[in-house]
Amino acid sequence: MTKSLLAGAALAVAAASPALGADLPLKAVEPLRPFTWTGCYAGGHVGGGQANKDVTDPLQLVQDGFLGAGTTVGVTTVTAQPTGLIIGGQIGCDYQFPGRWVVGFEGAVTGSYMKDTVTTALPLGDPGDQAALAIHADMIPSFTARFGVAMDRWLFYVRGGGAWVSDKYSLTGTFQGTPFDFEGLALRAGWTVGGGIEWAVWDDWSVRLEYDFYDFGHNTVLISDNVNVLSGPVDVKQTIQMVKLGVNFHVWSGE
């Protein structure tokens, strides 16, 4: 009797199972969306840089300042190569077209610790008289367009646009027994091009390695010695190269 009841119950459950299963809603499996670089980001970077600055003519500035205009014959160009650490931040947005092409824009500000000091003799001074020219590249902002090719979470890109640099100049020494100390500041505009590789290593974070070249052309810088009441212009031709390692936090489109 008991066995018959159990067997009947089992048959009833088996018969009802298909009907119950038919009534349960099926949960759709959402397909994985392909990765896209479309979105905006902000981050920081560190690295190293080297500038090349041709300065013409600090000797004439000193010697003609003390002895009178026209005293110095010929033109002297002094080359300084400031090098050092760079650190800064960037913010920008990208758009990935259907396929692999990516376009965007980026604003960045880089603080520079690139410095160099070069000395040169003063031929019209006392034996041993020298002028020491110290240059510090300070802040380097830029605004660039970015063009890239995406390979899933990898982005290979080039960028280019406008850039500015803030420099500090110091020319010190002794001329015929009189110390001098010329100081000057300059803010100049130029252009930049570069390229790099970026990897979206986590959902919202990416890392990048980038090289940039900056050209600021020729510019006249006024430097002054307030103690001796002397001032005058020097011509500076300047380029800068940087290698940057950066990290970005992204807000992807649709998130």
* Contact by Cβ (8 Å): 63, 125: yes
What angle is formed at CA 94 by the lines to CA 89 and CA 97, rounded to 5 degrees?
165
Residue 171: Cβ within 10 Å count: 23
Say how far apart CA 158 and CA 211 lie, in whole Å: 9
* 33: its two tokens: 């969306």
Residue 234: Cβ within 10 Å count: 24
- Specify the CATH architecture of the domain 37-252: Beta Barrel (2.40)
**Bridge partner residues of 108 (DSSP):** 90, 142
Residue among 109, 113, 135 nearest 237 (CA): 135
pLDDT tens figures, 163-177: 999 999 999 999 999
* 9: its two tokens: 């119950």
Say how far apart CA 160 and CA 182 lie, in whole Å: 35
pLDDT tens figures, 8-47: 444 444 444 444 444 545 455 455 567 899 999 999 999 9
Residue among 208, 223, 198 nearest 131 (CA): 223
* Domain positions in the chain: 37-252
* Contact by Cβ (8 Å): 20, 12: no
Q: Taking all residues of the chain, what is their mean pLDDT, rounded to a whole number?
A: 89
pLDDT tens figures, 151-200: 999 999 999 999 999 999 999 999 999 999 999 999 999 999 999 999 99
> Average pLDDT for residues 47-63, to the nearest whole number?
96
pTM of the model: 0.84
- Burial label for 33, CB within 10 Å (0-12, 13-18, 19+), is exposed
* Contact by Cβ (8 Å): 77, 120: no
Which secondary structure element, helix H or strand E, spans residue 76, and what is its range? none
Say how far apart CA 213 and CA 4 lie, in whole Å: 89
